[in-house]
Structure 1
Amino acid sequence: MITDAATTIFRAIAACALLALASSSFAAEPIIGVASVIDGDTIEVHGQRIRLNGIDAPESRQLCLDAAGRRYRCGQTAAFALDDFLAARRPVSCVQIDRDRYGRIVAECTAGGINVEDWLVREGHALDWPRYSKGAYADAEAEARAAKRGMWAGSFQRPWEWRKDHDAPMISTE
């Protein structure tokens, strides 16, 4: 036979479990506003630094080779392309997925109804980062590679490998 105290404890535990379940089933409120581009895969909206989920763009000081074999700042090119894309489709809407080890929000973002991460990869300005994307942008990357868009028109080092080779820590400007 269940005592009144046991029933009360059971109800309290059940209520806590339901509350936890309910709160986890609701998506976080999107962050909506005009974005400032920090670099090719990081933006800032309302003072909140947002790392785009599942992709990796070249670092600002990273050099790539274009189709003619000339060096260019592909990270800077990616940042400018992202800025142009977002400026034409304001505002941006981002849904937080996680936080990275630097405290930045990691989010999936859209602008003008277009997935920003997918657009960057499809245009060849960023790569699918399977470690974090689980291959979500692999098809977009294959399309960019086949069409020789962006970085795929020439040659480049994958950003995560470039950082390792250049002892460049992933800091807040990434």
Structure 2
Amino acid sequence: MKLAASVLILVTFVAPPAFAEMVGQGANVTDGDTFDLAMPDHMVKIRICGIDAPEGGRPGSREAWAALSALVHGKTVRCIQVGQPPGTVCDHRSRSTNRDRIVAQCFVDGQDIAVELVRNGNACDWQKFSGGHYQSLTGGKACAGKRE
């Protein structure tokens, strides 16, 4: 019994995080801030942290979808889940998952996807979760009156 408890404790403290850094191909883009990341053995839905894009049917939603699609679809994307090493701009502000999606900061060719979306006006900087990071880098707009 003591051995089983010791093994359980060891596994609890030594086991690597479930996701941390993920690398795969950008696949189906759901909207301007959510896409599927296809990895060799499975696919995960990614919600880009710290930004918000117009929801489907709202003004700008098609443009935001197209912008994210151009950035990720068929390309190698590296994502870091919120709260996992080496860290994201949303750490300590955002949950690591939201509605069955992994919340992450993502990059294509070393370029932060959220920076591009805010810079081009396809998304706003959700300051509650980014700490104003994207607005300060790009001069883009902050999200106004965001829901909790």
- State the TM-score, normalized to the length of structure 1: 0.60
Tell me if structure 2 keeps the 8 A contact 1:129–1:135: yes
| Alpha-carbon distance, 1:95 to partner | 1.5
Alpha-carbon distance in structure 2 between the residues aligned to 1:80 and 1:136: 23
Unpaired runs of at least 5, structure 1: 1-7, 64-73, 146-151, 165-174
The reply to whether residue 130 of structure 1 matches residue 116 of structure 2 is: no
Output the amino acid matched with 1:99.
T
- Whether the 8 Å CA contact 1:50–1:107 is kept in 2: the answer is yes
Which residue of structure 1 lines up, in the alignment, with residue 112 of structure 2?
115
Higher strand share: 2
Alignment of 1:7-18 (within 5 A): 16=9
RMSD between aligned residues: 3.2
State the match for 1:34 in structure 2.
26
| 2:78 corresponds to 1:78 | no
- One of 28, 49, 53 as aligned partner of 1:53: 49
Q: Report how far residue 144 of structure 1 moved.
A: 3.3
State how far apart, in whole Å, the 2-side matches of 1:23 and 1:130 are. 33
Report % sequence identity: 31
Match of 1:43 in 2: 35
User: Which ranges of structure 2 fall in alignment gaps of 5 or more residues?
Assistant: 83-95
Tell me which residue corresponds to 2:140.
144
> Would you say the 8 A contact 2:26–2:35 is kept in 1?
no
- In the alignment, which of 44, 59, 80 is matched to residue 95 of structure 1? 80
How far is 1:41 from its partner? 0.3
- Does the aligned pair in 2 maintain the 1:58–1:78 contact within 8 Å? yes
**C-alpha separation between the residues in 1 aligned to 2:56 and 2:64?**
8
Give distance in 2, aligned partners of 1:59 and 1:48: 20
Instruction: Letter of the 1:160 partner, please give it.
Output: K
* TM-score relative to the length of structure 2: 0.69
Deviations 1:88-112 (A, max 9, x none): x811111211111x12110110011
CA contact under 8 A between 2:23 and 2:76: conserved in structure 1? no
Distance in 2, Cα, partners of 1:127 & 1:23: 36
Runs (4+) of structure 1 moved beyond 2 Å?
A: 22-27, 157-161
Alpha-carbon deviations, 1:52-97, whole Å to 9, x = none? 011101112112xxxxxxxxxx01111101111224x811111211
Distance 1:118 1:30 in 2: 19
Greater helix share, structure number: 1
SS in 2 for 1:125: coil
Cα drift, residue 139 of structure 1:
1.1
